[in-house]
Amino acid sequence: MDEAAFIAALRGLPLHRGAQDLRDDAAVIEIGGEVLVFTHDAIAEGVHYRAGTDPADIAWKLVAVNLSDLAAKAAEPIGVLIGATLVEGAERFVEGLREVLETYDVPLLGGDTISHSGPATFGCTAIGRATTRPVPARTGAQAGDALYVTGTIGAALLGFEAGDGAAYLRPRPRLAEGLVLGGHVHAMMDVSDGLLLDARRMAEASGCTAAIEFDAIPFAQGVTDRLAAARWGDDYELLFSAPEHAALPVPATRIGTMVQKAEHSLLLDGKSPPERLGYEHR
């Protein structure tokens, strides 16, 4: 059972309406007049970081990728809960956790620890307070919207190839940008599994086709294999759709247009895309 089949099976379970049919990266729940956003991501040795990685970098990445999901919901972080494997050098994990929490002014709420002999895994649940309604989702894009991305694409790939790149191990969630974009976008998500794959996911969720102009993608300086970078992931930039000619409150690059649903949910320069668009768990 691959990731898509597993999530499809989960949709047969009792779901809270805030789970949004498991078609987004976070649950949105109204409690006592407050709208809260809940998200959870896990990272594992050999998948999200190499064996031997400094535990401080693991802690940073663990929290940062979850804060990135809150950024895509224009949510203000309330706190995080951590599930940690007790690894050699756990004191460095604590130090990295301190760094990322202090950098983004996010408190630790609690969590759990385990100890085992296999590859280490870590989990984080981040809780945020919605700052705009409706809360941005990947399902809201409309035909005719312009499609944008913040920052550049491919820095994480370069960092991974270098073996010590901060862009790969210490991503910077776009919390400030997400907060101000909330009221200006129709749909928004972060780029975690590859720009092309995530653009297709947004288009599918919204019932549109994402028509991307490949040369418009803002690649990081030093990227030579642009297609690999567009499929790599781990950039944690914000991908969003907004009305044509909308005045945006943050710098972003237009990379295409959302159009009426076609045969493919993603088009590159008007043509069908390559078979592999990004990282998918199998």
Mean per-residue pLDDT over the chain, rounded:
93
Band of residue 280 on the pLDDT scale cut at 50, 70, 90: low
pLDDT for the residue 164: 67
Element housing 144 (H / E) = none
Chain position carrying tokens 């998918």: 280
Q: What is the pLDDT of residues 182-231, one digit of tens each?
A: 999 999 999 999 999 999 999 999 999 999 999 999 999 999 999 999 99
CB atoms within 10 A of CB 80: 27
pLDDT for the residue 274: 82
Q: What mean pLDDT comes out for the span 85-114? A: 95
Architecture of domain 146-268: Alpha-Beta Complex (3.90)
Q: Which amino acid is at 243?
A: P
279 has pLDDT over 80:
no
pLDDT for the residue 173: 98
98 has pLDDT over 90:
yes
Q: Which residues contact 185 (CB under 8 A, 6 or more apart)?
A: 136, 140, 240, 241, 242
7 has pLDDT over 90:
no
**CATH code 3.30.1330.10 region(s) in the chain:** 3-130
Give the chain's largest Cα–Cα span. 55
Q: Which residues contact 160 (CB under 8 A, 6 or more apart)?
A: 168, 232, 234
113 has pLDDT over 80:
yes
Architecture of domain 3-130: 2-Layer Sandwich (3.30)
Three-state DSSP class for residue 271: strand
Buried b (16+ CB within 10 A) or exposed e, 233-257: bbbbbbbbbbeeeeebebebeebbb
Query: 183: which 2 tokens?
Result: 């009221």
The mean-pLDDT minimum among 62-71, 128-137, 146-155, 271-280 falls in 271-280
Three-state DSSP class for residue 4: helix
- Name the residue among 61, 19, 37 with its Cα closest to residue 182: 37
Torsion sign, CA atoms 88, 89, 91, 94:
negative
**CATH code 3.90.650.10 region(s) in the chain:** 146-268
Q: How far apart are the first and last CA of the chain?
A: 7
Band of residue 117 on the pLDDT scale cut at 50, 70, 90: confident
